[in-house]
Amino acid sequence: MKNTFGQNISVTLFGESHGEAIGAVIDGLTPGIPVYEERISRELTRRRPSSSIDTPRRENDNFRILSGVFGGKTTGTPLAIIIPNENVKSSDYEYGSARPSHADYTAFCKYHGFEDFRGGGHFSGRITAALCAVGGILLPALEKLGIKIGTHILKCADIKDNEFCDFERDITALNSAPFPTISSECGKNMTKKIKEAAENSDSIGGITQTAVLGAFAGLGEPWFDSVEGLISHAVFSLGGIKGIEFGKGFGFADTKGSESNDEFKVENGKIVTKTNNNGGINGGITNGMPIVFNCAVKPTPSISRPQNTVDFIKKENTEITIHGRHDPAIIRRICPVIDSVCAIVISDLLASRYGNDVFLKGDKLCSSD
């Protein structure tokens, strides 16, 4: 379905970086969900470039809800939300020279030269603002069901943040942190490294870590719609992400079953696991423990150094120096986007299991798992 994701609660994305507006249509929403415009704004703010380590392109993100909300609540019919593009400088871009590790050349292969190439067009990170707007609607609805989502930078350059410790507290803190790390000391050091990279006309990557707290046991499918499969499918939409691992992930390669199996126990009348190496998922299905996953984020491909490349129209070698405006590291700004993408997946899983009216059911859900 290309630009649509989700079976029962689905999101359709549209827009280009330098077009009139970007936006999203959310379908399948339970009627009666409160829509908080200030929460949408907050999610957009978390993603927006703001500090000296971000691209100088600044936008107000004055979103407008065109449909699907009435009296401050969802109607149950498609909710269309658009964000006009404001601060557009198309002259920064010219067509034909493929920016290395960007989608210029692959877009040409796919769209035969008809693509809107300005600012990366439909491939631009700009489109993720629409995802954050969607998150601004879904995240508080999930919170009402006791489900919280948060993402921090686990690693950037050679600095490693703490892992999640007190999920509840950490997620709350992350959702209003200007720089999303659990240790603020680490955050400062990462910022320094990012600035250094920028001064060096370079860019850096990193690893994010996301936790979903409170997801009921029993969500997901053995084939093919495992929770890992759905989250990864959605998350890999984000151009900069090149890897994902759940729980111990690639660390499993170095362990034995006797070391990494998650033993069960009964705790306060509830079945839990002693460790959470499987990241809350067994056989593709949630077991009630926090869902935990890490994403590998590549360095922003846009760097202001000369790079060898080709002109794909002329089919000849050439050199490119990217001017324009860009981030030396997208890892800070990608965190709220992952939260939003994750909220889409979890909402859809809930709707598939509990039906269209899932967000109206509240406490009744918890007791049924």
In this chain, which of 50, 51, 166, 264 binds its own copies, going by CB under 8 A? 264
Q: Is 244 in the site for its own copies (CB under 8 A)?
A: yes
Q: Is 176 in the site for its own copies (CB under 8 A)?
A: no
Give me the least distance between CB of 317 and its own copies, in Å please.
5
Nearer Cβ to its own copies (175/219): 219
In this chain, which of 7, 45, 162, 183 binds its own copies, going by CB under 8 A? 7
Question: How many residues interact with its own copies (rule CB under 8 A)?
Answer: 156
Give me the least distance between CB of 23 and its own copies, in Å please.
6
Nearer Cβ to its own copies (175/354): 354
In this chain, which of 51, 250, 321, 362 binds its own copies, going by CB under 8 A? 250
Q: Do 145 and 359 meet the contact criterion of CB atoms below 8 Å apart?
A: yes
Give me the least distance between CB of 185 and its own copies, in Å please.
19
Nearer Cβ to its own copies (68/175): 68
Nearer Cβ to its own copies (169/251): 251
Residue 302's nearest CA partner among 44, 8, 17 is: 17
Nearer Cβ to its own copies (49/220): 220
* CA quadruple 322, 325, 329, 335: dihedral, nearest 10: -140
Q: Is 162 in the site for its own copies (CB under 8 A)?
A: no
Residue 194's nearest CA partner among 180, 204, 208 is: 204
Task: State which of positions 306-325 bind its own copies (CB under 8 A).
Answer: 307-310, 312, 315-317
Give me the least distance between CB of 239 and its own copies, in Å please.
5
- What does the alpha-carbon distance between residue 294 and residue 289 come to, in Å, rounded to a whole number? 16
Q: Is 163 in the site for its own copies (CB under 8 A)?
A: no
In this chain, which of 35, 40, 44, 127 binds its own copies, going by CB under 8 A? 127
In this chain, which of 37, 90, 357, 366 binds its own copies, going by CB under 8 A? 357
- Burial 18-28, CB ≥16 within 10 A → b, else e: bbebbbbbbbb
Q: Is 36 in the site for its own copies (CB under 8 A)?
A: no
Q: Is 135 in the site for its own copies (CB under 8 A)?
A: no
Task: State which of positions 47-86 bind its own copies (CB under 8 A).
Answer: 64-68, 70-71, 73-80, 82
Structure tokens at 161: 């943040």
- What does the alpha-carbon distance between residue 349 and residue 234 come to, in Å, rounded to a whole number? 13
Q: Is 195 in the site for its own copies (CB under 8 A)?
A: no
- What does the alpha-carbon distance between residue 109 and residue 227 come to, in Å, rounded to a whole number? 32
- Burial 233-262, CB ≥16 within 10 A → b, else e: ebbeebbbbeebbbbbbeebeeeeeeeeeb
Q: Is 340 in the site for its own copies (CB under 8 A)?
A: no
Pairing mode, strands 64-65 and 79-84: antiparallel
Residue 328's nearest CA partner among 213, 192, 209 is: 192
* CA quadruple 135, 136, 137, 141: dihedral, nearest 10: 90
Residue 29 phi/psi, 5° resolution? -65, 140
Instruction: Choose one: 54-62, 86-94, 109-117, 161-169; the region binding its own copies (CB under 8 A).
Output: 109-117
Task: State which of positions 269-288 bind its own copies (CB under 8 A).
Answer: 269, 271, 273-274, 277-279, 281-288
- The rounded Cα 334 to chain-centroid distance in angstroms is 6
Name all contacts of 260-268 with Cβ < 8 Å and 24+ positions apart.
262/289
Instruction: Choose one: 112-120, 144-152, 168-176, 182-190; the region binding its own copies (CB under 8 A).
Output: 112-120
Q: Is 199 in the site for its own copies (CB under 8 A)?
A: no
- The rounded Cα 310 to chain-centroid distance in angstroms is 31
